[in-house]
A and B are shown apart, each in its own frame.
Chain A
Amino acid sequence: MLKILPKIRRPVRCLSAVVAARNEGFAKVMQSDLLAFENFLGKDGVQKDDISNHITDWTGQFKGHGSVVLYPKSTEEVSAILAYCSRNKIAVVPQGGNTGLVGGSIPVHDEVVLSMNKINKQFSFDDTMGILQCDAGFILEELDNKLAKLGYMMPFDLGAKGSCQIGGNVATCAGGIRLIRYGSLHAHLLGLTVVLPDEQGSVLHLGSSIRKDNTSLHTPHLFLGSEGQLGVITSVTMTAVPKPRSVQSAMLGVESFKKCCEVLKLAKSSLSEVISSFEFLDADIMECLKSNLDLHPVLSKSTPFSILVETSGSNEDHDMEKMSAFLDECLSKNLILDGVLAGSSADAANMWKLRESAPLAVTRDGYVYKHDVSLPLENYYELTNVMKARCGDLAKRVVTYGHLGDGNTHLNITAGKRCEELEELMYPFLYEWVVAHGGSISAEHGIGQLKLPYSNLGKESEERLLTKKLKNIFDPNGILNPYKMI
């Protein structure tokens, strides 16, 4: 997931070449419906004007045509709306912070936007067990700040943390830069309150608020990464992790991709329980950072690859000793050409700025084709080389950065402006190549609208069918977040 949200507008891009036609089975929102909504929510819970923020995604790639945004303040109000919409066949799109990257949280046609912004009152935390229970509309950073006072933090970190909401994080199974240490959200989710889009607006309390409960199907986990297809999450129960007291960062220059993998292997064994990030940047993105943002590398000489490794622990002496031993071994085994160990938080901030500014740097080239795929490490960088050869001069740059420790690559191909010839060379070739080499076409951003045309790639038709059947059970009238994912 992106770590920063650059405030820029990119031109509209239609990767999913044709937008699905409006399903005429859905009713159009009438005056009587608006009155009903006002009846459930009060006048201030129904917004008809100034809604462009809610029907456009932040990348500017997707724009819908919704005409109304609803702001329920409680689970009961969500239930009333969903029951009404289900009975009247009104399509609904649930929306958190609207920071997704695949057009999943905005209307495609005239769906009603169900904003979670006002469901953000209830918060409780058990600081012995580290269990958090809160409303779905809390912003990730707000939660992190609340937990920091109690010596804890959220087990994941995203660039969008100032805007994204915990409910949306669960619905998209957000990844981020701490995944290598704390695992995905599956490792942390305990329970959910969800409202189903059925004719009763059923409210379900799934899972529990204790760490161990093996008494049922693990139903809350069905909603992780469900992209708003199954129900609306209104409350989340999950574990938080103790806030580290010592954070160390180092940037390493490496000669070949093979050696990057060896450094990763060594880092996993020698930094083991304290490693918290292992990020990867190639020379092309470093060059892009320099020429587009005037950000200079921290290493004195340019190297084919750079690795940013971070540890988080509870004891500075212990962590430094491990980090020093790890770096010593990297040097003595000739795994790295050069390296810098952050001596202060300012040094560390400069290193992270390079990694975090990468998504912004590529946009300055004019037009950027972003990718979020995961691959077995033996094919991780091969994809970049294959695409470089394939795109040739049509591409301005082919750059790669990503979470190497998770096998997740953000391959970005830039051009001065949108280029159909280039698109034809890239798609569906790139996604087919990824699947043929055992990867996933969407490592963390999801499917949404953007990757719907390719959603069959790498998934057996039986699995797709099963998902459709599941969707029907939860959403019998198919009103929730249509035209996407499933």
Chain B
Amino acid sequence: MKILVGVKRVVDYAVKIRVKPDRSGVVTEGVQHSMNPFDEIALEEAVKLKEKKLATEVVAFSLGGPKSAEVLRTALAKGADKAIHVQVSDDEAGKLESFHVAKTLQKIVEQEKFDAVFLGKQAIDDDSSQTAPILAGLLDWPQALYASKVEEGGSGHMKVTREIDGGLDTIKVKVPFVLSADLRLNEPRYATLPNIMKAKKKPLKNIPIKDLGVDITPQTETVEVTEPPVRKAGGFVEDVSALVAKLKEKGFVKA
């Protein structure tokens, strides 16, 4: 089984997000970036399957600006065999939608003949959660979304457990398939220095988006990005009767 894993470069989860003064988006320059945490989990699962000899090759994929190469190097250090960077400008990268990513993944899958595509269940920057289902639709493959456990399913199938409200949903999907990884699927490993060094020698292929012929014209327009309203400071009251009076005044308790 040859697995393609999507890894996205996103603003690190610990960074305090600031909105640009013109409200056109959030500030991404000069802030720490890292691999989307759910993509890390998807990658870890693919690498584990390879270690268990259930997969033969793991290829990391990223669609993004020049710096996306960094997360691909990290993916190679964490066990991917090869990497594919589909290049767009930083400007274009900021306007990409799930549909564009799925279309690009579709092209790569068709060119290089993969048996599975593993993705994070969502990217922590846009929270769309759309890429995996759109891709499954485009490829006409079965989908296993929000996976929390992946096992061999017998006769060309994989058994996937999904966490759902109040329980677990276990499904069997026929290979080839699309999978999205949930938080509890595994704990990603660290990139060790010897592996970071080795990763420098692993192949990283660059493909300009135009070579794939994917149209990345935006389908939506961002009208405005705003910060959440600032919570107003509370006040102190002297005693219980003052509290009750305030609550009555505000209409929270009946007079």
Contact = CB atoms under 8 A, between A and B. Distances in A.
A250 B190 CA distance: 11
Contacts of A247: 32
B197 A343 contact: no
A340 interface: yes
B190 A345 contact: no
Given A341-B196, A343-B74, A344-B12, A246 B191 contact: no
Interface in B59-101: 74
B170 interface: no
B166 interface: no
Interface string A276-319: 00000000000000000000001110000000000000001000
Interface string B183-194: 000000011111
Interface string A325-342: 001101100001011110
Contacts of A252: 193
B120 interface: no
B106 interface: no
B184 to A, nearest CB: 15
Contact of A316 (B13, B32, B74, B192): B32
B154 interface: no
B129 interface: no
A344 B194 contact: no
Contacts of A339: 192-194
B235 interface: no
Interface in B15-71: 15, 30-32, 34-35, 37
B14 interface: yes
A336 B193 contact: yes
A338 B34 contact: no
Nearest to B75: A343
Contacts of A328: 197
Classify the interface of chain A: helix, strand, loop or mixed: mixed
Contacts of A466: none
B39 to A, nearest CB: 11
B34 A344 contact: yes
A89 to B, nearest CB: 40
Contacts of B13: 344-346
A341 B193 contact: yes
A9 interface: no
B194 A331 contact: yes
Interface in A335-381: 336, 338-341, 343-347, 349
A298 B190 CA distance: 7
Contacts of A338: 192-194
A347 B31 CA distance: 17
A171 to B, nearest CB: 32
Contacts of A346: 13-14, 34, 37
A340 B14 contact: no
Interface string A13-57: 000000000000000000000000000000000000000000000
Nearest to A245: B30
B197 A340 contact: no
B191 A343 contact: yes
A317 to B, nearest CB: 9
A245 B12 CA distance: 13
Contacts of A340: 190-193
Most buried by A among B190, B191, B194, B197: B190
Interface in A267-281: none
A455 to B, nearest CB: 43
Interface of B: 12-15, 30-32, 34-35, 37, 74, 190-194, 196-197
Given A252-B193, A331-B193, 14 more contacts: A247-B32, A250-B193, A298-B190, A330-B193, A331-B197, A340-B190, A340-B191, A343-B74, A343-B190, A344-B12, A344-B37, A345-B12, A345-B13, A345-B15
Interface of A: 245-247, 250, 252, 298-300, 316, 327-328, 330-331, 336, 338-341, 343-347, 349
16 contacts: A245-B30, A252-B193, A299-B192, A330-B193, A331-B193, A339-B193, A339-B194, A340-B190, A340-B191, A340-B193, A341-B191, A341-B196, A343-B74, A345-B12, A346-B34, A346-B37
